[in-house]
């Protein structure tokens, strides 16, 4: 009974509104709807631009140098060993690959890195992928295959992209169960 009274009042109210007022209400409703749609399109465009500008994929293609420092190992002479590599990286989307070589090393206890020359420059190949993170820094995961003088070895690296030209993280290797820290920097 109560709902029929409300419906009757609404019908009575609507019949009292003149034709021009009805048109005015319709025009206002249509204008507000169009304005809201235009605002939504503008906000969407700004969001897409911001996502592309502020959350873009790191660009890894180019020449890089990275240095590892062995912190844990099953072979004591490798403790605190530092080794430096140079690699040329080619990126396609979120995947990348590259080739390079070991070019300097510093055995534990020695003060500075020593250049490696000739056949002692061990060749390496890398493959990896980028993990996009919107609320934290992007991550890079890569595997390195090294053609050592005694045998082949593999190393896994997990890096955090700190800036367009710097990355840092941890590594684990099949060489004497080595693990430790790694730092990458763009050469050019």
Judge if 94 and 37 occupy the same domain: no
Confidence check: pLDDT of 16 > 70: no
Judge if 26 and 115 occupy the same domain: no
Question: Which pLDDT score, from 0 to 100, does residue 147 have?
Answer: 84
Q: What is the pLDDT of residues 35-48, one digit of tens each?
A: 888 888 888 877 76
Q: Give the E-state strand segments of the chain in sequence order.
A: 62-72, 82-92, 95-106, 114-115, 123-131, 139-147, 152-163, 166-173, 179-186
Judge if 42 and 66 occupy the same domain: no
Judge if 82 and 167 occupy the same domain: yes
Judge if 50 and 92 occupy the same domain: no
Judge if 40 and 68 occupy the same domain: no
Domains in the chain: how many in total? 2
Residues 6+ apart with CB under 8 A from 28: none
Q: List the CATH number of the domain containing 84.
A: 2.40.128.120
Dihedral of CA atoms 145, 129, 135, 51 in degrees, nearest 10, equals 150
Q: What is the pLDDT of residues 36-82, one digit of tens each?
A: 888 888 888 777 666 655 678 899 999 999 999 999 999 998 999 99
Judge if 106 and 148 occupy the same domain: yes
Judge if 47 and 130 occupy the same domain: no
Judge if 152 and 72 occupy the same domain: yes
Judge if 168 and 96 occupy the same domain: yes
Domain span holding position 85: 62-186
Judge if 48 and 84 occupy the same domain: no
Average pLDDT over residues 102-106: 92
Question: Which pLDDT score, from 0 to 100, does residue 45 have?
Answer: 77
pTM of the model: 0.72
**Which of 95-99, 114-118, 137-141 is predicted least confidently?**
114-118
Distance between CA atoms of residues 23 and 14, nearest Å: 13
Question: Which pLDDT score, from 0 to 100, does residue 5 have?
Answer: 63
Tokens 């060489």 — which residue? 175
Judge if 165 and 75 occupy the same domain: yes
């Amino acid at each position: 009974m109560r709902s029929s009274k409300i419906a009757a009042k609404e019908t009575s109210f609507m019949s009292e509104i003149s034709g021009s007022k009805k048109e005015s209400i319709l025009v206002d409703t249509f204008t507000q709807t169009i304005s809201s749609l235009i605002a939504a399109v503008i906000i969407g465009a700004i969001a897409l631009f911001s996502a592309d500008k502020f959350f873009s994929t790191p660009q890894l293609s180019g020449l890089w140098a990275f240095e590892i420092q062995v912190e844990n190992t099953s072979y004591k002479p490798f403790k605190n060993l530092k080794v430096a590599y140079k690699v040329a990286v080619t990126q396609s989307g979120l995947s990348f690959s590259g080739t390079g070589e070991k070019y300097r090393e510093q055995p534990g206890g020695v003060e500075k890195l020593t250049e490696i020359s000739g056949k002692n420059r061990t060749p390496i190949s890398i493959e990896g992928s980028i993990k996009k993170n919107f609320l934290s820094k992007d991550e890079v995961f890569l595997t390195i295959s090294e053609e050592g003088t005694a045998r082949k070895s593999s190393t896994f690296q997990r890096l955090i992209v700190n800036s367009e030209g710097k990355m840092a993280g941890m590594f684990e290797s099949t060489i004497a169960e080595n693990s430790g820290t790694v730092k990458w920097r763009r050469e050019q």
